[in-house]
Chain A
């Protein structure tokens, strides 16, 4: 009888220990923040372009300042809504939100509704950041508002004049190039438009195989680095400034689309991309004036304004977020989800700090107001 009781107690204790991360999350106080999320690239109900952001919001227990409920990835954003097949067209933002996050404005295209596994280009249905939306964002932004703009916001189909205004406001300059590392250039992941543009440009068939780096500029000019031109994928590393800001030293591979941005005088790089190249690879990039290291995370020197030069919030699958564990668990998750290494190693720690700071700024602005 006594032994059975002991056994049960052990089981209970084990269960408690196992559930402790969940209990801690439930016991933890929530962080009310007034957030505005913009994502125009939601053709399907996977919400992948802002999935990573909402995971972090749930994980850090950020709730809506108004109703104190967790943000819902299905409804709490401005953009295209696949369930009703229409996009929002008037961005009504309350004055002075705590954080504005422009996740993606690329938009929704006809072929997207069938999955568009080949990445074929088709007629635009909705997309591009408008001059009016950007005005709304800046009009609502106050000193304590954190503004995060992520790739793809200023690229096509956003009009050129809007892009140059955003660039001026953010103190950045897009070089016109975007790029991506592919583990296999023959894979279906390589979009068909990239192959077609290359074939049109060179009159050669796309016969690449194996890992490679691809770059495309705004005029659809394609540059391909094959296996022999590279020594690895795209690496992310923190600058000294980044390390001091986030207290993070973990490097990571970055495996999705990025844009090559030059910071203006008011922006500084906290995180960088580095391309792993052979001498030939470097020569090819030099020919096209493509740098081999360039900013991944840019922060304004004076204000809480960030530019993320990649699809940082884009993750393929949703994970259970309501738990609290020490941060090395993220590295374990990164090992288990190789494709999402950057999300676990970099994006989560990065966003945790930014959200914490946004909350501090809100609190201090409220105390000043009081």
Chain B
């Protein structure tokens, strides 16, 4: 009888230790190891399935680890020093209670540190962490029709929070729709189908949350995007000119998009922008290629691999497509840059390897600028069709090239001593045909300056090389916004950086007519394209229309009072 009693006590202590250690340690392990690890995987572009596969083992690994520790506890502590064992068990129980309280108190500092941000997808859906009562009231006031909670009652603290949320929802008058989901483990299909059905059948705005607002809401976000695709057909959107892995180029009214391999968030942008086909240079048998196939299948995208085709064939194929297409390689490397040249200028790219990077600076894959005079064979081999010389005297050695049909334009370098004159010069040479070689006799400083301006005029600004007044904010590498500029700022910022277009968001309640006239006069004086959009109800549509497909650096003059709203408008992908 005594033996049975002893065994029962041993089992109870072991069980309490296992449970409390597993819960307390598991909670902290989740916050400080699993969540940051998952974020790292997301940053590296792993798909949700891959992340779930990895994290599933991490979760099961922790459970196994808990059992191992509890057996070690039994063998080395309980069997030898019972008082110690009871003490340790008491400590783990206390730790478990503390962790439970920490999770229940969603406003605690530790939880706040790990909580995700609020994210809005379109007009209808906002994703975020567990909502306190104040947030429910705010949502109600803002006209939300319901909250979709992904908390799972199988987790003790989430069960308590779920009950609390339902009670608060009743009090505030906000319907709470519960679709329990478990992160990484378990089958969430039923809940996902339920959410799909709810958002398809019920109109209005929803707030969707899990506990931290990170993992489970991301899964639902992708589902929501596919369900509401039809709704998005009606929405005017803007496309970013910069993805995390490199710049993005738009052609044919943004029907052909060329850019690097997207991150998880960026896949969402493509879907929201109604991209229907992916054209990929990535080897389909590589791990990245397999992942791409998986993403395309799950998002109903047509995947066409073109790793064996010439760039001309790819360019011709994508231009003939009726639907929106995204052309990608793993990064915006030379393949994409060469394709950009073909799509942009309808000619072959320069063979860049013929020029040493110390001697030459490139504009895309169609222009080379240098203070070194390259020999004719190199220029011929590189496919140069236009040579522009900026020298003190004409260069006779280029005559042979001229006879071969290469266009040779000569300019004097004496007048290019200010930003204004350099900008005017670059505007005057315009978009010459074929690959361009710009030879600049003189200092490296002039080459750097002309290169920076050309980069600005045709692509965007390198933040490290660029020069900005403190009132200017960089939205993307080719899109900046800020206050109206005085004459000096026009020279030191607009011209210096090769800003292609200035767009003035004119607010009659803030800007005087004199200021508008002054900005217009400066733009006209320096030959900078200038557009004025009045800040009326439809300014967003007008701005999108203006920006879409506009190549080169754009500067938007906007009132300080609406800066925050404008940033949202410019980044509402």
Contact = CB atoms under 8 A, between A and B. Distances in A.
Given A123-B141, A161-B561, A132 B539 contact: yes
B537 A166 contact: no
A241 interface: no
Interface in A122-149: 123-124, 130-136, 138-139
A170 to B, nearest CB: 10
A131 B509 contact: yes
B569 to A, nearest CB: 13
A140 B539 CA distance: 16
Residue in A135, A164, A165 with the greatest tally of chain B CB atoms within 10 Å: A135
A289 B505 CA distance: 40
A94 to B, nearest CB: 14
Residue in B507, B534, B538, B562 with the greatest tally of chain A CB atoms within 10 Å: B507
Given A123-B141, A123-B143, A131-B562, A90 B509 contact: no
B36 interface: no
Given A165-B509, A169-B509, A132 B535 contact: yes
A89 interface: yes
A132 B537 CA distance: 5
Contacts of B15: none
Contacts of B508: 135, 138-139
B400 interface: no
Interface in A145-167: 161, 164-166
Nearest to B143: A123
A131 B143 CA distance: 21
B536 A135 contact: yes
B561 A136 contact: no
A135 B143 contact: no
Nearest to B536: A132
A139 B534 CA distance: 9
A161 B562 contact: yes
A224 to B, nearest CB: 27
Nearest to A122: B141
Contact of A123 (B140, B535, B536, B561): B140
Contact of A166 (B141, B143, B509, B534): B509
A120 B536 CA distance: 33
A165 B561 CA distance: 8
A131 B510 CA distance: 10
A167 to B, nearest CB: 11
Nearest to B507: A135
Nearest to A133: B537
B507 A131 contact: yes
Given A123-B141, A131-B562, A165-B561, A89 B510 contact: no
B535 A165 contact: no
A165 B562 CA distance: 11
Contacts of B562: 131, 161
Interface residues of A, number: 19
A90 B509 CA distance: 17
By size class, the interface of chain B is: 10 to 19
A124 B535 CA distance: 25
Contacts of A138: 508-509
A162 to B, nearest CB: 8
Interface string B532-545: 00111111000000
A123 B536 CA distance: 26
Contacts of B141: 123-124
Contacts of A165: 509-510, 561
A90 B143 contact: no
A266 B562 CA distance: 25
A139 B537 CA distance: 13
Contacts of A132: 535-537, 539
Contacts of A91: 537
Contacts of A131: 507, 509, 535, 561-562
B538 A135 contact: no
Interface in A162-196: 164-166, 169
A130 B535 CA distance: 11
Given A89-B537, A90-B538, A161-B561, A135 B140 contact: no
A79 B187 CA distance: 51
Contacts of A161: 561-562
A141 to B, nearest CB: 8
Residue in A123, A164, A166 with the greatest tally of chain B CB atoms within 10 Å: A123
Contacts of A164: 561
Residue in B141, B537, B538 with the greatest tally of chain A CB atoms within 10 Å: B537
A243 B536 CA distance: 39
Contact of B535 (A90, A135, A166, A169): A135
Contacts of A90: 536-538
A136 B536 contact: yes
A157 to B, nearest CB: 10
B567 to A, nearest CB: 14
A133 B507 CA distance: 11
Contacts of A130: 537
B555 to A, nearest CB: 21
B174 to A, nearest CB: 12
A89 B538 CA distance: 11
B558 to A, nearest CB: 12
Interface in B531-573: 534-539, 561-562
A138 B536 CA distance: 11
Interface string B499-532: 0000000011110000000000000000000000
A139 B536 CA distance: 10
Contacts of B539: 132
Contacts of B538: 90
B306 to A, nearest CB: 46
A344 to B, nearest CB: 35
A91 B508 CA distance: 14
B561 A135 contact: no
Residue in A89, A130, A133, A136 with the greatest tally of chain B CB atoms within 10 Å: A136
A108 B277 CA distance: 46
B428 to A, nearest CB: 36
Interface string A97-128: 00000000000000000000000000110000
Interface in A189-228: none
Contacts of B535: 131-132, 135
Nearest to B562: A131
B537 to A, nearest CB: 5
A122 B538 CA distance: 29
B510 to A, nearest CB: 6
A228 to B, nearest CB: 38
Contacts of B561: 131, 161, 164-165
Nearest to B564: A161
A172 B123 CA distance: 36
Given A123-B141, A123-B143, A165-B561, A134 B509 contact: yes
A130 B537 CA distance: 9
A231 to B, nearest CB: 41
Interface string B143-159: 10000000000000000
A83 to B, nearest CB: 23
A279 B562 CA distance: 46
Nearest to A161: B561
B138 to A, nearest CB: 12
A123 B509 CA distance: 29
A70 B536 CA distance: 30
Interface of B: 140-141, 143, 507-510, 534-539, 561-562
19 contacts: A91-B537, A123-B140, A123-B141, A123-B143, A131-B535, A131-B562, A132-B537, A134-B509, A135-B509, A135-B534, A135-B535, A138-B508, A138-B509, A139-B534, A139-B536, A161-B561, A164-B561, A166-B509, A169-B509
Given A131-B535, A135-B507, A165-B510, 17 more contacts: A90-B536, A91-B537, A123-B141, A123-B143, A124-B141, A131-B507, A131-B561, A132-B536, A135-B508, A136-B536, A138-B508, A138-B509, A139-B536, A161-B561, A164-B561, A165-B561, A166-B509
Report, nearest first, the 9 A-B pairs whose CB atoms are least far apart.
A138-B508, A139-B508, A132-B537, A138-B509, A132-B536, A161-B561, A90-B537, A165-B509, A134-B509
